[in-house]
A = this chain, B = another copy of it.
């Protein structure tokens, strides 16, 4: 009988799930569109209908369920006021899933789950102190110190994307101004490129784009040496490098893993960010801390992160 953790990752567009063994092999996986569940109870019904028969039929022995979700609170097992989900208010998803499945569940936010995934199955297996930064629509983060994920006293630690880097800067979805994620994220670099297009005369293939400007298009242009696109990456990397250097003063990690859509730009992001990062580091940290891509493939990261949450808490 194969022991597995069930990992469920809840995203704004898709919900993905999988059965993951202790070595990080994803034995089964599936996904649904988030929008098909206007009520969280609809999701719970689907989980019973689809996931339960699957592990019975395959003779998997589930140790429990890990759930990664935006605005997920580890201590309460709730999703709280997630702006990108169809569910409003406070959703006690851990409890709902536990009751429906007769299995223990554990829930945290998606970036924390990513950090646990990196620690359990990825490049941080031998590390006690590291952090994972997810660069998607927003900027998420999970900090590990002394071999433990930092949840904070209320379960809401690891919101590096909401450090204010310019108090009179860009408006943020959180209602404040100048949060790091308004500059450093897929959305942030797109805003930066739009500002450059507006404020400069620099010729750029981005000016005549027939599709909507996105971080993907900016990366494509930067790869073909488009100066304005490269400038957008440079500005983004400068903010990220300084913010990471500042974060290092608090937890002094062995490595920082960058993950998600914008991190997939590879050297375009890593080379300038590493330079700005080391320029801004206090001498005692300089050139000692690696900036690394996640070693978990994008396609499996969400499931492996959620499953790692179950493996680290319930096994």
Contact = CB atoms under 8 A, between A and B. Distances in A.
Interface of A: 80, 127-130, 141, 143, 145-146, 148, 150-164, 167, 174-176, 242, 245-247, 249-254, 280, 282-285, 288
Which of A146, A176, A242, A247: most chain B CB closer than 10 A? A146
A175 B148 CA distance: 33
Contacts of A282: 159, 162, 174, 176
15 contacts: A80-B284, A141-B250, A143-B251, A145-B157, A151-B252, A152-B251, A153-B254, A154-B252, A154-B254, A154-B285, A157-B249, A157-B250, A162-B249, A174-B283, A176-B280
A178 B197 CA distance: 31
Given A159-B282, A167-B242, A153 B127 contact: yes
A250 B242 CA distance: 15
Contact of A175 (B129, B150, B283): B283
A118 to B, nearest CB: 15
A162 B159 CA distance: 20
B176 A253 contact: no
B280 A164 contact: yes
Contacts of A152: 129, 145, 251-253
A150 B251 contact: yes
Contacts of A164: 242, 245-246, 280
A123 to B, nearest CB: 14
Which of A153, A154, A176: most chain B CB closer than 10 A? A153
